Structure 1
Amino acid sequence: MQEYDIIVLGTGLKECVLSGLMSQSGKKVLHIDKNPYYGGESASISPLEELYKRFKVSGPPKSIRRGKEWNVDLVPKFFIATGQLVKILVHTEVTRYLDFKVVEGSYVYKTGKLHKVPATEEDVQSSDLLGMFDKRRFKKLLHFALNFDTRNPRTHQDVDPEKTTTRELFTRFDLGQDVIEFTGHAMALHSSESYLDQPCLDTINRIKLYSESSSRHNTSPYLYPLYGLRELPQGFARLNAEYGGTFLLNRTVDEIVMDNGKVKAVKSDGKLFHCKQLICDPSYVPNRVRKVGRVVRVICLLNHPVKNTHEASSCQIIIPQTQLNRKSDIYISVVAFGHSVASDGMYIATVSTTAETSNPEKEVQPGLELLEPIVQKFVSVSNLLVPNEDGRKSQIFVSRSYDATTHFETECEDIKDMYKRLTGTELCFWSSRHQSHNSDDD
C-alpha cells in the first residue's frame, strides 16, 4: 500500500500546474492519467493524421504533407505577457523548458471590418477605430488606468475603485458606445456585459494589464509557446518529477475510495494508492459536477493568412457580442509555421464561443466567414462543467472545464481558487520577476 499527500487525476494544464506547485512545496504527489499522452482536454494533437482520425474525417489531402510538423491544440489559448500564467511559469522556473514567440496581432471586429485593438497611446493615435474626439477621451482613460495605484489615493482622481461602477467610470471619461465595446471586450477581456455594473477596480486592472503587456512586445500583448500548448503540461510534469512526483500514464481509474465522506484512496488497475487530497478534472468524477453551458470550437486549417490582419501569421480576433446581437463574444485564434505547429505556408485558426442555441455551428458562422477559404474544418461541442462543491469537506478538488476564451486569464482564476481551497493560502507571486525572459520578439 502506497501513501501520498496528493493524488492528481488527469494531466490537463490546471492539474499539472497544481501538482507542480504542490511537489515544489514539499508534498508527495502521484499523478495518474487514463490517456497515454499529456494534456487531457487541453492536449495538442500530432501528427496531423491523428487529428483527422480523432474527428473521423478522411484525409489529410496530399497537398498537406509532413504530418509530423503539426501540433494542433484542442483548446487553443494565448498567454498575456505580464499575466498570471507567465508569473506562475517564472516563479516555478518552468520557463526553462519552454520557448515563446509573440503573437503578431490583436484585432476586434466592428461593423464588418477588423481593426487592431489600440492598447498604447501610439496605437490610439493611428487607430481607424476611433474618431478624433474619441481618441482624446480614450487616451485619458488609458493614462488614468496606467497610473492607477490602489495604495496611492492621489492616482484615483476622486474615483472610489470599490464603489464606482465601470459604467460610471466610462461615463466620467465620456466614452461612446463603440469605445466602451472594444475596451470592455477586446482589452479588459470581459465575456459578458455584467462587468459594467460591478466596481471598476477589476476593469482598471485588466486595461492596465493589457496595455502594459502590449507595450512590452509592440505587436500584441499575447505570447504562445513553440510546438503548441502541449509543452505546458509537460513542463509542469517535469517540475513535478524534479521534486519527486510520480507519473502513471495510460492507467484506468477504477474507483475513488471514500471514508466518512472524505477521500481516502484511489484504486487504479487493481492497486490501491492512499492520499489525503485529490485533484482532478471533471471527466474523473461525473457525479460531482454539473453542466452550466456548452462551448463550440471549430478548428480550421488554412493555406493563407486571415484577410485584413496585415498578413499576420498569428493573431487573436474578438467579435464582441453586441455586434451580432448575442450574449457571448466569438473568439478566433490563429497560429502558423512560425510557432512550429503547422507546415510552412499553412495556418491553424480556431473559432470558439459559448453556445446559445441548439445549432452551435451556425453561431460561429460570422467567425468562419472571416477565415474563408477553409481547407478543412473540425467541429467539436463540449459541455462546460463546474464542480458541485468546493472540495473542502471531501478533499476532492475538481477543476472547471475550459471556457470559450482564447486567453488563459479565466483559467488562472480557477487555478488560484483551487490552490487556496487546497492549501488555505493565497497563490501570490512578487511582480518584479514576472517578465517572460525567454520570449522571442522576432
Structure 2
Amino acid sequence: MSDLPPYPPLDPTTYDLIIVGTGVPSSILAAAASSSGTSVLHLDPNPFYGSHFASLSLPDLTSFLRSNSLSPPPPPPSDNPDFLSVDLATRSLYSSVEIATFDSSILDERHSRKLNVDLCGPRVLFCADESINLMLRSGSNNYVEFKSVDASFVGDSSGELRSVPDSRGAIFKDRSLALAEKNQLMKFFKLVQAHLAAAAASSTESDEGAVKITEEDMETPFVEFLAKMLLPPKIKWIILYGIAMVDYDQDNVEACGDLLKTREGIARLALYITSIGRFSNAVGALIYPIYGQGELPQAFCRRAAVKGCIYVLRMPITALLLDKETGGYKGVRLATGQEIFSQKLILDPCITLGSESMSSLTDQQKETLRVLVPKSISSEAKIARGICIIRGSVKAGISNALVVYPPKSLFPEQLVAIRVLQLGSGLAVCPADMHVLYFSTVCDNDDQGKAALLSAMSTLIRPQVPENSESESVVENDNVEAKPVVLWRALYVQELVKGEFGGSISSASSPDGNLNYNELVESAVKLYEHVMGSEELFKEETSPDNATEEENDGGVEIEAM
C-alpha cells in the first residue's frame, strides 16, 4: 500500500493469538487474553483505535463510511512451499450513506478538531451494567472518565418531550402525571423492588412472606403483565420504551420482532433501578465517556498493552496461510508481505474471503475458513443510524439527554422505537455552542430505516437546504423557529454481524442496535471462553463488588475500593 508506513519487520513472528480489528469485543478479548499470559498481536488496518466503535472527526468519519469497502491490495505471490495462501477482501458494513453540510463553517479546522463523533451511536452505559463491572475487574476504568446523561424523555409527533420518571423523587416532581398515575407508577416500582429483594434474599423463614411476582406471570408477555397491573397506556409506554428500552411494538403481537417476556422485562428494570445512585456523582442511571465512545476500546487496548499485547495500526492482513496437507490455519500475511504465525485468529466482522478464494479449496480447507464465507443477510435486521451537529438544544436547559420515540408515536406505520441521544460540549465531543445528536432504529431495509430517522429529525430540528446536496425534500413543522438548527448531517445503514466461532479462526461482532454494551460484552466473554477455554475474565484483577467514584471537573471516575 502506498500509504503504509515503513514498518520494520515484526519480531517475534509467532504468537498465541492474532486479533484483527480494535472494536469493543476484540479489545476486551485482547485485554483478557494478555492478562492471562497469552502472547497477543493486535492489528488494525485503520490509523485509529476502535474500528466500527471509534469516535472520529467529521472528515475521518466521512472517509471511513465511504471507503470502508475498499479491500487491501492483492498480496505478492508466496514462495513458501509449506502453506497455501488464501486472499482476503474487505466488505463494507455500511450502505445508503448520505452526508450533507448545511453550514460550511462546521468543517473549519477551528470546529472540526473539537468534534469527536461516534460511528455506532446512540450508545450509553448503565451505571450497573456488565461493561462497567468488566472495566473495574480489568482495571480499564483507569483510562476513561464518564459524565452523566442528565435526563431521559419520551417523545411524540407533536414535539412534546415527556420526562421519564424513573425514581420516587422524579415521579412526584413530574407535572405531566396525574396524582392517580403517580400512585400507580409508585405501586408498580415498589412491587418490582420487593420482588428483586425477595429474589436476592436467601431462603429463610423470614423470607416466606416476601412479595414476589409469580412464575406464571414471569413467563407471560411483559406488556400483558403491565396491563394486569392496570397501568394506563402512557405509563406502559414509559416503562417499555423509556426504561426497559424495548425496540419492537409490544402491542402488535403478530408484527413484533421480539416480544419481551416479564422475566426479561423485570431484569431490564432491575438494571435501570440499580444503576440509579450507584455512583454519587452520576445524576441518573446513564453515563457516557468523555471524548466519545471510542475511549472504551482504547481503554481496554491500553490495559492489554500494559500486559504485553503488541499493537500495530495501519496494518491490514492480505491473506491467510493454511497447511497444504491438513488444511489447518497457520498464520497471516501482512500488507508488508511479512508472514506471521499464531495458534488462533480473531477477525474483524468486515473481513471476508476474496472472490476467487473458495473455488480451488478442499473440503478441509473450506471448513477451516467457514466463518469467513459471507452469510445471506436478506432476512436479517439492520440498524439505521443518523448523526446531526446542531446549534442549540432539543430541550432548553438540558445538554446531555436521551429521547425515545415509541412505536407509532411519530407515524402509524412506525413499528420500531427510535432512540436519540443528545450530547454537549461538557463531554468534549463538540464546541461550546453546539450539540451532537445520534439517532438509531432497527429496520428491515435501508429506505424504511432512513425514513424513520428523518421523521424523528424533522420533529426535533429546524430543516435547512444542504449546501452540498441536490434538492432534497424537507418536512415543515409548526414552531420551527424554536427548534435547533442543523449544521451537518449523516445518514447510513449498518449491517448487523454476529460473531462466528470456528476451530482456529473466529470473527468478532459488529456494533448492535442496543443502547448499552451488555450483549457485546456477553459476546466477548463467549469468544474468550471459546479461544482460551476459561470461564473467568480478569480473575487476578480488581473485584467490582465495591465500586466508587471520584469527582474530577464534574466527571465520574469509576473505581474499585
What TM-score do the two structures reach when normalised by structure 2?
0.71
Alignment partner for residue 265 of structure 2, among 183, 196, 203?
203
Distance in 1 separating the partners of 2:155 and 2:177 = 13
Match of 1:89 among 114, 123, 135: 135
**Structure 1 stretches of 5 or more lacking a match?**
none
| Aligned residues of 1:115 and 1:129 also touching (Cα < 8 A) | yes
Which residue does 1:285 correspond to in 2? 352
SS of aligned partner of 2:429: coil
Tell me which amino acid in the other structure corresponds to 2:330: K
Shift of 1:139: 1.4
> Counterpart amino acid of 1:176?
P
Which structure: greater helix fraction?
Answer: 1
C-alpha distance 386-122 of structure 1, shift in aligned 2 (>3 A)? same
Query: How far apart are residue 201 of structure 1 and its match?
Result: 2.6
Cα distance between partner residues in 1 of 2:135 and 2:319: 33
Match of 1:159 among 214, 233, 240: 214
Distance 1:125 1:398, change over 3 A: same
C-alpha spacing 1:423/1:299, structure 2 compared with 1 (3 Å): same
> Who is 2:291 aligned against?
227
1:371 to 449, 457, 461: 461
Distance of aligned partners of 1:215 and 1:411 in 2 relative to their CA distance in 1, 3 Å threshold: same
Alignment check: 8 A CA contact 1:49 1:59 kept = no
Letter in 2 for 1:383: E
User: What is the aligned partner in structure 2 of residue 191 from structure 1?
Assistant: 247
Partner of 1:411: 520
- State the Cα distance separating 1:114 from its structure 2 match: 1.0
1:31-430 alignment runs, 5 A limit? 31-46=42-57, 48-51=58-61, 61-62=104-105, 65-76=110-121, 77-110=123-156, 112=158, 113-147=160-194, 148-149=196-197, 150-152=199-201, 154=207, 155-160=210-215, 163-192=219-248, 193=250, 199-216=261-278, 219-259=283-323, 260=326, 262-269=328-335, 270-285=337-352, 287-290=372-375, 291=377, 292-306=380-394, 309-323=395-409, 324=411, 325-359=413-447, 360-369=449-458, 370-372=460-462, 373-387=485-499, 390-391=500-501, 393-426=502-535
Deviation at 1:261? 6.1
Question: Does structure 2 conserve the Cα–Cα contact (< 8 Å) formed by 1:100 and 1:438?
Answer: no
Q: Is the 8 A contact 1:4 1:274 kept in 2?
A: yes
User: Could you tell me which amino acid in structure 2 is paired with residue 201 of structure 1?
Assistant: R
Q: Pick closer, same or farther for the CA change 1:363–1:66 going to 2, 3 Å.
A: closer
Q: Distance in 1 between matches of 2:328 and 2:396?
A: 56
Instruction: Provide closer, same or farther for how the CA distance between residues 363 and 212 of structure 1 changes in structure 2, counting only shifts above 3 A.
Output: same
Alignment partners' CA distance in 2, 1:58 and 1:366: 19
Mark the structure with the bigger radius of gyration: 2
1:252-273 Cα deviation digits (max 9, x unpaired): 2112334556533222132222
Contact 1:101/1:441 (8 A) holds in 2: yes
Give the distance between the partners of 1:424 and 1:140, measured in 2 at CA. Answer: 46
Secondary structure at the counterpart of residue 392 of structure 2: coil
Shift of 1:108: 1.3
The amino acid of 2:26's aligned partner reads E
| Whole-Å separation in 1 of the counterparts to 2:551 and 2:139 | 11
Aligned mates of 1:438, 1:23 — CA distance in 2? 31
Deviations 1:338-370 (A, max 9, x none): 111111111111111123345232221222121
Contact 1:289 1:386 in 2 (8 A): no
Aligned to 2:30: 19
Q: Measure the CA separation in 2 of the matches of 1:343 and 1:316.
A: 20
4+ aligned runs moved over 6 Å, structure 1: none
- How far 1:180 moved relative to its partner? 2.1
Task: Tell me which amino acid in the other structure corresponds to 2:52.
Answer: E
CA distance in 2 between counterparts of 1:210 and 1:38 reads 30
Cα separation, partners in 2 of 1:166 and 1:52, compared to 1, 3 Å: closer
Q: How many residues align?
A: 436
Structure-2 change in CA distance of 1:57 and 1:120 (3 Å): closer
In the aligned structure 1, how far is the partner of 2:396 from the partner of 2:283?
A: 11
Cα deviation, 1:203-261, whole Å, max 9, x if unaligned, reads 21211211232344564321111111222222111111111101111112112334556
* Percent identical residues: 22
C-alpha contact (below 8 Å) 2:20/2:346 kept by paired residues: yes
Aligned-partner residue type, residue 312 of structure 1:
I
8 A Cα contact 2:246 2:417, kept in partner:
no
Deviations 1:273-311 (A, max 9, x none): 2222222221123634533232222211111011xx342
**2-structure distance, mates of 1:425, 1:12:** 21
Q: Please tell me whether the aligned partners of residues 31 and 245 of structure 1 are also in contact (alpha carbons under 8 angstroms).
A: yes
Tell me if structure 2 keeps the 8 A contact 1:6–1:277. yes
Q: What is the rounded CA distance, in whole Å, between the counterparts of 1:400 and 1:414 in structure 2? A: 7
In 2, the alpha carbon distance for the partners of 1:27 and 1:410 equals 25
Cα distance in 1 for partners of 2:272, 2:295 equals 24
Q: Aligned partner of 2:385: which letter?
A: R
Distance 2:245 2:131 in 1: 16
**C-alpha separation between the residues in 2 aligned to 1:316 and 1:124?**
17
**Equivalent-residue separation in structure 2 for 1:335 and 1:213 (angstroms):** 20
Distance 1:165 1:426, change over 3 A: farther
Q: After superposition, give the CA deviation of every residue in 1:175-203 in whole Å (9 maximum; x if it has no partner).
A: 23332222122211222336985542322
Listed one character per residue, the Cα deviations across residues 127-186 of structure 1 (whole Å, up to 9, x for unaligned) are 245433332222122122233143437445252276454245324422233322221222
8 Å contact kept, 2:399–2:435: yes
Alpha carbons of structure 1 residues 118 and 423: separation in structure 2 relative to 1, 3 Å:
farther
